[in-house]
A and B are shown apart, each in its own frame.
Chain A
Amino acid sequence: MQIYLPIAELSVNVFLILGMGAGVGFLSGLFGVGGGFLLTPLLIFIGIPPAVAVATEANQIVASSISGVLAHWKRGIVDFKMGLVLLIGGIVGSSFGVWLFGILRAMGQIDLTIQLSYVLFLSIVGGLMLVESINAIVKRKQKKTQKLHQHYWIHGLPFKVRFRKSRLYISITLPLGIGFLVGILAAIMGVSGGFVMVPAMIYLLGMPTAVVVGTSLFQIIFVTANVTVLQAVNTQTVDVVLAMLLLTGGVIGAQIGARFGNKMQGEHLRGLLALIVLSVCAKIGFDLISTPLDLYSIGLPGGH
């Protein structure tokens, strides 16, 4: 069954989109990740214009993260103060990112920028996860005593603020900066940025793992909502029909995935996720270096 997408202006198979949403939803339920980093490249692979893919994905993430944060809300493990600081950085960063997106699109360099950002971030994050999960599997039996968090140069920064729920007393510039950078990624790559945000909160800020997921979801909602509105106003590339299809498949897949995830061991899950991240990265990287079928491409000036 074909459906015509009003904003992307092309006809797609409904079941293909639902299936993609469900497949990525399954993985995101399984691993507890947003899945934007998989869905956006998949949409581009099937021929959705990159600008529409990125903007629509932001809209889709709003829905999936609201669903996620509601589940965490009840358990009361969201650090709203930290979330708000990250959010301020995120709003500024994502607004800057949407502006940058428009300029790069007019220059004809947006596809390259999206691809390069994917290769860069996916290879770093995937590589780190793989190494860590292998280490964890090898060293599972040797228990280590850990400090609450380590102290290094980051704790020497000024404007220190106390975050009670995270049991931290750190410089406000740090979460602001992280929020800003992740905001740019959200706008340019069509991702929630969770795969950068979560490790940054754990390793850079030293937040307890329990509050990390809820807090990052909380700020992701508002950052992606900001990207959705800005893209709708600046580029008119948010396709609600496409977003609804992805979402429908996504929520069902996520619930099934979450049930599977409970039965698997954390280290194995993370190792598997790392392999998926690295293979997406390899595919995009390969496309960048292999000789294109046609060296020439066409578009409209200004990117519209």
Chain B
Amino acid sequence: MKTPLIFKAFFGLSLYLAAIISPAQADGELVVDLSKPIVAITTGFTGADILLFGVTDGKGDVVVVVRGPQRDTVVRRKYQVAGIWVNKDSITFKQVPGFYGLASNRPIAQFAPLAIRKENQIGPGFIQMLPVDTSFSPKQIGLFKDALIRNKQNQGLYSLDPNKLTFLGNELFRTTLKFPANVTIGTYGIEVYQFRNKKLINKRTTLLEVRKIGFEAGVYNFAHRHSLAYGVLAILIAGMAGWLANAVFRRV
């Protein structure tokens, strides 16, 4: 039987209202905030540390999951052809997060049941990655998925082991979210899960914006929005520089 749309909408709305009106809707309170709501990429940007802190209503364990903007991602495998390594097979995965960070106060498996970790995609192995072309065997897909996670990890964009999250007393906790210099720009979702007695009792979501500002943003936006003018300007700058070099060094 199909649930009428109006009921669905009402159900969704009431859930939403419950979530915003009474944060203590489950077992208690969970409040989180960030030291800064944006990561600003400036000329001297070499990565950023953002402090996440929060309060719980007592004993429990906390996991923080940071997900970067999602994009389709291709994984390619090289084969040796006539002595040369050549990309041959490729699988495209739909909407893979560009960044995946984790933080928890102790090993996640000790307090979070497998089913909940799977459902909420807690841990890189549980990130949902669906191939665009479904004709590959599950074994092949698994190999390519592992390779994707491994490559992202080597680029410093996925963390396999959770970062340290420390409790100060029973209720106050904090952790540092680390973003390397090669982070992609966009909106990052930060989800905080609270567990007690192996049960998920609370979940909060907050957003973080990673964006270029000032000169970096100016150049990037100009290059993308007015690419023809950008190209012409690049040539003019090069021309001036070449002329200047010639003029200066002729007199030396």
Instruction: Decide if A264 is an interface residue (CB 8 Å cutoff).
Output: no
Instruction: Evaluate contact between A62 and B238: CB separation under 8 angstroms.
Output: yes
Contact B85 A288 (CB under 8 A): yes
Which residue of B150, B212, B216, B242 is within 8 Å of A65 (Cβ)?
B242
Given contacts A4-B45, A289-B85, 12 further A-B contacts (CB under 8 A): A11-B182, A62-B238, A67-B246, A108-B76, A228-B234, A232-B223, A233-B228, A238-B231, A241-B219, A255-B252, A291-B85, A296-B148
Closest A residue, CB atoms, query B185: A9
Residues of A within 8 A of B78 (CB): 292, 295-297
Binds B, one of A173-181, A190-198, A205-213, A243-251: A243-251
Residues of the A chain whose Cβ atoms lie less than 8 Å from the Cβ of B182: 9-11
Q: Closest chain A residue to B148 by CB distance?
A: A298
Per-position binary interface string of chain A over residues 151-175, scored 1 when its CB falls under 8 Å from any chain B CB and 0 otherwise: 0000000000000000000000000
Dominant secondary structure at the A interface: helix
Q: Does B14 contact A (CB under 8 A)?
A: no
Q: Is the CB of B219 within 8 A of A6?
A: yes
What is the size, in residues, of chain B's interface with A at 8 Å between Cβ atoms? 60
Q: Which residues of A contact B238 (CB under 8 A)?
A: 59-60, 62-63, 66, 225, 228, 243, 247
Complex Cα spacing A245 to B234, Å: 13
| Chain A to chain B: the 6 pairs with minimum beta-carbon distance, closest first | A232-B231, A66-B242, A296-B147, A229-B231, A11-B181, A63-B238
Contact B235 A288 (CB under 8 A): no
Contact of B92 among A63, A244, A301 (CB under 8 A): A301
Interface size class of A (residues with CB under 8 A): 35 or more
CB of B197 within 8 Å of the partner chain? no
Residue of B nearest to A56 (CB): B234
14 of the cross-chain contacts (CB-CB < 8 Å) are A4-B46, A4-B181, A59-B235, A71-B246, A225-B235, A233-B227, A288-B84, A295-B85, A296-B75, A296-B76, A296-B151, A297-B78, A297-B87, A298-B75
Closest to A115 in B: B84
Of the candidates B42, B76, B83, B220, the one whose C-beta lies within 8 Å of that of A297 is: B76
Which B residues lie within 8 Å of A298 (CB)?
73-76, 147-148, 151-152
Inter-chain CA distance A35–B156, complex, in Å, is: 33
- In this assembly, does B224 line the interface, its C-beta being within 8 Å of a C-beta of chain A? yes
Chain B min CB distance to A60 (Å) = 7
A-chain residues with CB within 8 Å of residue B42 when the two chains form the complex: 4
Within 8 Å of chain B (Cβ to Cβ): is A70? yes
Task: Please state if B46 and A2 are interface contacts (CB–CB under 8 Å).
Answer: yes
